Structure 1
């Protein structure tokens, strides 16, 4: 659906180009979420929004979206393996929110094409 598209590959490249942002852990905020937990939370929120904006999606289509998100989270775990369990900094939080929104845009485009 999206993980096999050029747009997704470009987003993964965008993430890898910004890995330096994740090299500095946040040692000041002990209650901050981890990098991976924040990615999962943001992606979940975006996908819930996608599904609520498209109530005409069938059960099978929703399951396909969930499988795609699982694949994306797996990719993120691989890319961020060394920093995934670190507490997220405010700058990382902003990046993760932006990145998750870009992932939602990919799904929006694919669902629009699929439902036409």
Structure 2
């Protein structure tokens, strides 16, 4: 659905170009959420929005969206393995929110194509 598209590859490249942001010290964390917990929360919220905005998705299509999110989280865990359990800083939180929104945009585009 999205993980096999050029847009997703570009987003992963965007993330890798900004890995330096995730090397920041945990001393500046804003809450007790780790980097991966924040990614998971943000992606969950975005996918709930995607499904809510597209009530015409079939059960099978919704399951495909969920499987894709699982694959994305797996990719993020691989890329961010060394910092995934660190508490997120304010800058990381902003990046994660933005990145999650971009993931949602990929799903919006693909779902629009599916529902035509």
- Do both share a fold (TM > 0.5)? yes
Extract unaligned runs of 5+ from structure 1: none
Cα drift, residue 22 of structure 1? 0.1
Instruction: Give the corresponding residue for 1:111.
Output: 111
Q: How large is the RMSD of aligned CA atoms in angstroms?
A: 1.0
Q: After superposition, what is the alpha-carbon deviation per residue over 1:58-94, rounded to whole angstroms, capped at 9, x for unaligned?
A: 0000000000000000000000000000000000000
Tell me which residue corresponds to 1:70.
70
The separation in 1 between residues aligned to 2:14 and 2:112, in whole angstroms, is 24
C-alpha offsets along residues 18-69 of structure 1, whole Å, 9 cap, x if unaligned?
Answer: 0000001322448431000000000000000000000000000000000000
2:76 is aligned with 1:80:
no
Gaps of 5+ in 2: none
Match of 1:46 in 2: 46
Distance 2:8 2:29 in 1: 32
Q: Which residue of 1 aligns with 2:9?
A: 9
Distance 1:46 1:104 in 2: 6
How many residue pairs align between the two structures? 116
**Contact 2:33–2:87 under 8 Å retained in 1:** yes
Could you tell me the TM-score, scaled by structure 1's length?
Answer: 0.97
Q: Are the equivalent residues in 1 in contact too, given 2:36–2:84 (CA < 8 A)?
A: yes
Structure 1 residues 51, 30: CA separation in 2 closer, same or farther (over 3 Å shift)? closer
Structure 1 runs of 4+ aligned residues shifted over 6 Å read: none
Give the TM-score normalised by structure 2: 0.97
